[in-house]
Structure 1
Amino acid sequence: MRANYASLKSELTKHLSPVVVVQNNAVGGRFTLIDKGVQVETVDPVPEYFELAKSIAHVPLGVYSVIAAYLSDKVPNIANAERIDPHDLDMVAFKPAGDTGWITPLTGFRSTLATARTKLPTANLPTDLAASSDKILTEAIKFIDTAVGAKSFDMVAFNQFAATVYPSIRVNMTAAATAQITGIEALMKRWRARIGEQAWSDLYVMVLSIWTTAELNQASIIIRRTMNQAKVNTHLIDLPTAETPADPIGVALENLARIVQDNVAAEMVFNAALDVADALKGKEDLLSKEILQQIGGTAPAHTAAFGAAAAGTCPITGRTATA
């Protein structure tokens, strides 16, 4: 059975059409159009300033990445201290007290920031984005100079630095979002005209991401409104992966082939039990309800981190399961 299932899936990948595969990357996403089994075009459609705006917005995270292991392993008396899990902090702050191994890499990062700041005037950025980027870089350099000079830092000082630059980070986030919306929507419009309305109405989109960006994925949000709204809930598929795959197109098509063949199989094999058919067509394991029944448990509630469909509703078909 498994060999035949795999054979069907392998052959089906050659007939999937039309499909857009989205790879999330540092420049706003790489998009590939597949039509009639042929990879028509691969494009990075987002304007260049997206990467600059987002990279500079991440500078506080870059500083954190250098100093985190050298933090005190005790949560200090700061605003919202209760939001920091003491056990998480204890694991992250794994360097011994007094270790100054952070000074060399942080000094190197400072050089990178200083170089970036000198190049801002020639980057042809909008005035507000240039100003916010300069503010972030300047404050980061100031924090680094103070820490290196004292050969010491703490979470309180870092939090003050982060709070100071947050308004500027918001400006950069706005600019990055605008760039991404503009670039992706223009590409979708061009591809829609290329393959025609009939084909576009059946478009599948596979968005590859890692777990941390799978929920409310930026590319998915933008693409959603360009698709056939009658099918978008079943044809726009977010595919979280543990790591960026070596062959993203192959991974996307293999998973889509499984989804498509299971969509048909579900209605044929489980036509007498639509709730089981919905499970096969969706993310629910076929044995999950049986296991819960036998152990006397209930399905865990979905959290904001994982998203949620309406209670008792299949996220793929929208049908309500019946006992």
Structure 2
Amino acid sequence: MATRRGFIGGATGISTAALLGSAATPSAADTGAAASEAAAAVTQTQARESLFAVNAGMRANYATLKAELIKHLAPVVVVQNDAKGGRFTLVTKDGQESANPVSQTFELAKSIAHVPLGIFSVIASYLADKIPNLPNANRIDAHDLVMVAFNDETSTAWIEPLRAYAAKLTTARGNLAAANLPATLTASCAAVIDGGLKFVNASIAAKHFDMKSFEDFSGSVYPAIRTNMEHASQAQIKGVQDIMKTWRAKVGEAAWADLYCVVLSQWTTSVLNQNTIILKDCMNAAKVSTHLIDLPGLEPPADPVFTALDNLARIVQDNIAAELVFPKDTTVADALKGQQDLLSDEILKQLGSNTVTTLSAPTYNTVATAAGVCPVPH
């Protein structure tokens, strides 16, 4: 026996209304009139809200897909840049594991190399807002200087915080030999600390400093800072390459070929980021341009791994959406897949420009030195 649903659903060419004994299908004129009445009853605000609701629905659907996609992202290496050389996390279908693979030499060398910046941070706001005749005077923005030098240059309020920082330098200098660093690094650290203490003591005694005296100090310790940078770089290269080699063996060649690497950094270090440079040579060379992703931010996120995966999910689903939503316009599809806003071309066109002005993509030296060659075979 046919059910009511089956009978109605199976009937073709007959309106449901007619089957149920309702009036005949309304004419086009009647339909238009009804639509006009309905439209008249809707305010402009209500109408626009209904249009906004369409995009809200899209965003909800998009967020749902992204939340589910996060669970399927693998393999991924997430790098949170930090003072220790980076916190690395490998994400696979079996879970996550994290490590700080860079030796302490990295952090120790950078710690002492930062002495001039530590001193500058104390005295900067008391600098006079007039640029002296320095070799690099034309590179100093006068307005930037005025904003940084916001304190009274005649004040001596900088003396106590500078003396406190000098106490840390003095302690470090006394303990330097016991730190058991390489001889060349020990010598360069000593030179930087001694130079810093000399500047501090002279400034406190005179109750005065200026940009010229500070530049004389920072310039004098620069060769030693370069030595510290060399040691820090060597430690970072080795640590990153070693962990990537270990994880590649664990993941397997087939999966590693599709590896995504997401590097979280601050804007000031997001171009030619130190870890990005090293990771490049440890990945599938054919996919580096699309699978090595720098995510510059303002401050380190509370949950860096989730932040990286959340952004990666957006990138991955946009890669597929771009080709399916815009199959007839590869230029717009590329915009959705990349960092370009979809409206950018149209805005440039309306503003009278047909070209996009962008920063050059970072390039890397692919001819690595012996110290910089990734041990992982490609």
Q: Is the 8 Å Cα contact of residues 24 and 209 (structure 1) preserved in structure 2?
A: yes
> In structure 2, how many angstroms separate the alpha carbons of the residues matched to 1:115 and 1:298?
60
Q: Which residue identity does 1:8 align to in structure 2?
A: L
TM-score by length of 2: 0.79
> In structure 2, how many angstroms separate the alpha carbons of the residues matched to 1:300 and 1:136?
45
Equivalent residues in 2 for 1:98-137, closer than 5 Å:
98-137=154-193
> In structure 1, how many angstroms separate the alpha carbons of the residues matched to 2:336 and 2:136?
43
Instruction: Please tell me whether residue 7 in structure 1 is matched to residue 7 in structure 2.
Output: no
Q: Which residue identity does 1:66 align to in structure 2?
A: V
> In structure 2, how many angstroms separate the alpha carbons of the residues matched to 1:151 and 1:141?
15
Instruction: Please tell me whether residue 259 in structure 1 is matched to residue 315 in structure 2.
Output: yes
Match of 2:88 in 1: 31
Q: Which residue identity does 1:36 align to in structure 2?
A: K
User: Residue 12 of structure 1: CA displacement?
Assistant: 0.4
Match of 1:319 in 2: none
Match of 1:21 in 2: 78
Q: Which residue identity does 1:177 align to in structure 2?
A: S
Instruction: Please tell me whether residue 289 in structure 1 is matched to residue 345 in structure 2.
Output: yes
Q: Which residue identity does 2:334 align to in structure 1?
A: D
TM-score by length of 1: 0.93
User: Residue 302 of structure 1: CA displacement?
Assistant: 3.2
User: Residue 296 of structure 1: CA displacement?
Assistant: 1.2
Match of 1:273 in 2: 329
The residue matched to 2:285 in structure 1 has which SS? coil
User: Residue 180 of structure 1: CA displacement?
Assistant: 0.1
Equivalent residues in 2 for 1:39-188, closer than 5 Å:
39=96, 41-188=97-244
Q: Which runs of 5+ in 2 are unaligned?
A: 1-57, 364-378
Q: Which residue identity does 1:15 align to in structure 2?
A: H
User: Residue 299 of structure 1: CA displacement?
Assistant: 4.7
> In structure 2, how many angstroms separate the alpha carbons of the residues matched to 1:189 and 1:109?
41
Q: Report Cα offsets for 1:273-323 as digits up to 9, x if no partner.
A: 11111001000000110111112135563346xx469xxxxxxxxxxxxxx
Q: Is the 8 Å Cα contact of residues 85 and 102 (structure 2) preserved in structure 1?
A: yes
Match of 1:320 in 2: none
The residue matched to 2:85 in structure 1 has which SS? coil
Q: Which residue identity does 1:29 align to in structure 2?
A: G
Q: Which residue identity does 1:143 align to in structure 2?
A: F
Q: Is the 8 Å Cα contact of residues 47 and 183 (structure 1) preserved in structure 2?
A: yes
Deviating 4+ runs (over 6 angstroms): none
Q: Which residue identity does 1:226 align to in structure 2?
A: C
Q: Is the 8 Å Cα contact of residues 211 and 242 (structure 1) preserved in structure 2?
A: yes
> In structure 2, how many angstroms separate the alpha carbons of the residues matched to 1:303 and 1:269?
28
Q: Which residue identity does 2:305 align to in structure 1?
A: I
> In structure 2, how many angstroms separate the alpha carbons of the residues matched to 1:208 and 1:138?
35
User: Residue 220 of structure 1: CA displacement?
Assistant: 0.4
Q: Which residue identity does 1:32 align to in structure 2?
A: T
User: Residue 97 of structure 1: CA displacement?
Assistant: 2.5
Residue identity (%) = 58
> In structure 1, how many angstroms separate the alpha carbons of the residues matched to 2:126 and 2:91?
48
| Residues 284 and 303 of structure 1: CA distance in aligned 2, closer, same or farther (over 3 Å) | closer
Q: Is the 8 Å Cα contact of residues 50 and 175 (structure 1) preserved in structure 2?
A: yes
> In structure 1, how many angstroms separate the alpha carbons of the residues matched to 2:226 and 2:188?
9
Alignment length (residue pairs):
306
| Residues 70 and 299 of structure 1: CA distance in aligned 2, closer, same or farther (over 3 Å) | farther
Q: Is the 8 Å Cα contact of residues 272 and 362 (structure 2) preserved in structure 1?
A: no
Instruction: Please tell me whether residue 240 in structure 1 is matched to residue 296 in structure 2.
Output: yes
Q: Report Cα offsets for 1:259-285 as digits up to 9, x if no partner.
A: 000111111111111111100100000
Q: Report Cα offsets for 1:66-100 as digits up to 9, x if no partner.
A: 00000001111111100000000000000013111
Q: Is the 8 Å Cα contact of residues 23 and 248 (structure 1) preserved in structure 2?
A: yes
The residue matched to 2:258 in structure 1 has which SS? coil
| Residues 154 and 300 of structure 1: CA distance in aligned 2, closer, same or farther (over 3 Å) | farther
The residue matched to 2:347 in structure 1 has which SS? helix
Match of 1:318 in 2: none
Alpha carbon RMSD of aligned pairs, Å? 1.2
The residue matched to 1:230 in structure 2 has which SS? helix
Moved more, 85-94 or 96-105: 96-105
Moved more, 16-25 or 290-299: 290-299
> In structure 1, how many angstroms separate the alpha carbons of the residues matched to 2:258 and 2:358?
30
| Residues 31 and 83 of structure 1: CA distance in aligned 2, closer, same or farther (over 3 Å) | same
Q: Is the 8 Å Cα contact of residues 348 and 356 (structure 2) preserved in structure 1?
A: no
Q: Which residue identity does 2:242 align to in structure 1?
A: A
User: Residue 49 of structure 1: CA displacement?
Assistant: 1.1
